[in-house]
Amino acid sequence: MQQQKSYCVYVMASRSRTLYIGFTGRLPTRVWQHKTHAFDGFSAKYRCERLVYYELYQDVQNAIAREKQLKKWPRATKLKLIETANPTWLDLAEDWYKDMNTSGQLRMRGD
């Protein structure tokens, strides 16, 4: 039986609370890319390395629509969303990468 795919809308933040909103089908891998600055761009430039919020979806179209919706929101509304779910702005992925193999590849359940 094939495992059902899930999709995530997520928010990465810098220590100064600069926000990056994204969408992915592989959240652990994508968060690792943000943390290690695997790609040049906004999140690397502003050091958006902390996962502070995410939502899971089974339908890709719903996830894409939600990402677009969040990106259009005023900053204050985005902050309220994050602070409702994660009032202390903890890095929700802080402990995700403790189990790495010798080549630096992730060994995570579900990825």
Instruction: For the chain, give the percent of residues with pLDDT over 70.
Output: 86
> Whole-angstrom Cα distance, residue 98 to residue 89?
20
The CATH code belonging to domain 7-85 is: 3.40.1440.10
DSSP 8-class letter at 92: T
Query: Which pLDDT band holds residue 107 (cuts at 50, 70, 90)?
Result: low
- Ranges of each domain in the chain: 7-85
Instruction: For the chain, give the percent of residues with pLDDT over 90.
Output: 80
pTM more than 0.75: yes
Amino acid 1: pLDDT: 61
Interval 54-102: pLDDT, tens:
999 999 999 999 999 999 999 999 999 999 999 999 999 998 887 655 4
